[in-house]
Each structure stands twice: as structure tokens, then as C-alpha cells.
């Protein structure tokens, strides 16, 4: 592998990580900047995960910025290419769907997405940062009128399996 290609791969991965960190910190403008940088570097690599990961990050940013239709269009684009390739991608896809369907008052889609997200979170409790995904589940459950279940999910997460020490997202505070 040439040095240029290796540098481009490393830069793509670093920019993807930086975009994820900014997204998790709620810095959505910076998230978009890092996604743009990663997409530029990705054009010079053969990193297979990059296009899907970056499109999914962009969908999450759009969802958090209040553009549910744009977010779902990106999810539909990814779905046309195949199912999520790993658990992280599945969590992020369901996160976007819960938030978007809640904003659009799509109860059928929301019931499906909250059920799948709850099941997936149950399997991944100890893996990594989960604030965003649990927040999406709580938002979805509240939008379905299941406030008691939303409170139970929130309380269980905050009391027993949250690993992060930073500020809670609004729906979990």
C-alpha cells in the first residue's frame, strides 16, 4: 500500500471518529465539518465502511437538527444497499428512525423502530457510548404515549448501566 493511500485511510478514520465525538457532544456544525473532511479523504481510499458510516453520521446529524425527512432519506438510501453490517450501524440506524418517526408522528414506523432498538440495546448494554440511543428510545416511547415505560428505560439506564460521566442528553436528564 502506498504511503499516500495509508495516510488517506488514517485521515478518513480519524475524521470519522472526530465527527462521531462531535455528534455525541451535540456539536452538530462541527460534526458536519468533520463528515465533509472524511468524505474528501475517503475518495482516495478503499476503506469499505467509510461511505456507509459517514452517510449514517450525516443522517444522525440531520435527525438531531430537526430534519427527519432528510434523515430518513439517507437511511432509505443505505437500506437499499443492504442491511446494517454491524451492531453499531444497527443502533445508529434505529436511533435515527426513532427520532424521525417521533417527529413525523409515524406510529407504525415508531413501534417497529422502538421495539428493535430496545432489543438491540438489551444486547449491547456494556459495549460503548449509549446516551444517544437510549435517548432516542425514550423519545420514541414518549411519542407512542408510553411514558411509564420511557421513565423505566431512562431510570434503568441512568441508575444501572450508564458508563459515561458527562452531562445527560435532554430527554434523559
pTM for the predicted model, two decimal places: 0.85
| 17 within 8 A of 5, measured Cβ to Cβ | no
Rg (alpha carbons) of the chain, rounded to whole number = 16
Is the pLDDT confidence value at 1 over 70? no
Distance CA 83, CA 2 (A): 32
Cβ atoms < 10 Å from Cβ of 50: 20
Task: Tell me what the mean pLDDT of segment 122-148 comes to.
Answer: 87
Domain ranges of the chain: 1-82, 87-167
pLDDT category of residue 148 using cuts at 50, 70 and 90: very high
| 143 within 8 A of 110, measured Cβ to Cβ | yes
Task: Tell me what the mean pLDDT of segment 47-68 comes to.
Answer: 90
Distance of CA 115 to the CA centre of its chain: 16
Is the pLDDT confidence value at 125 over 80? no
Amino acid at each position: 500500500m502506498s504511503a499516500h493511500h495509508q495516510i488517506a485511510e488514517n485521515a478518513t478514520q480519524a475524521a470519522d471518529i472526530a465527527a462521531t465525538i462531535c455528534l455525541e457532544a451535540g456539536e452538530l456544525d462541527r460534526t458536519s465539518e468533520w463528515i465533509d473532511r472524511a468524505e474528501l479523504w475517503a475518495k482516495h481510499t478503499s476503506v469499505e465502511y467509510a461511505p456507509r458510516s459517514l452517510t449514517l453520521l450525516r443522517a444522525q446529524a440531520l435527525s438531531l437538527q430537526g430534519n427527519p425527512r432528510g434523515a430518513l432519506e439517507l437511511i432509505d438510501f443505505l437500506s437499499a444497499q443492504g442491511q446494517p453490517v454491524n451492531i453499531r450501524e444497527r443502533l445508529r440506524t434505529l436511533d435515527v428512525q426513532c427520532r424521525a418517526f417521533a417527529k413525523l408522528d409515524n406510529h407504525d414506523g415508531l413501534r417497529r423502530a422502538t421495539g428493535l432498538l430496545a432489543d438491540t440495546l438489551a444486547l449491547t448494554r456494556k459495549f460503548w457510548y449509549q446516551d444517544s440511543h437510549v435517548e432516542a428510545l425514550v423519545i420514541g416511547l414518549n411519542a407512542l404515549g408510553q411514558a411509564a415505560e420511557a421513565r423505566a428505560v431512562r431510570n434503568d439506564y441512568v441508575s444501572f448501566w450508564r458508563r459515561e460521566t458527562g452531562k445527560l442528553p435532554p430527554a434523559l436528564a
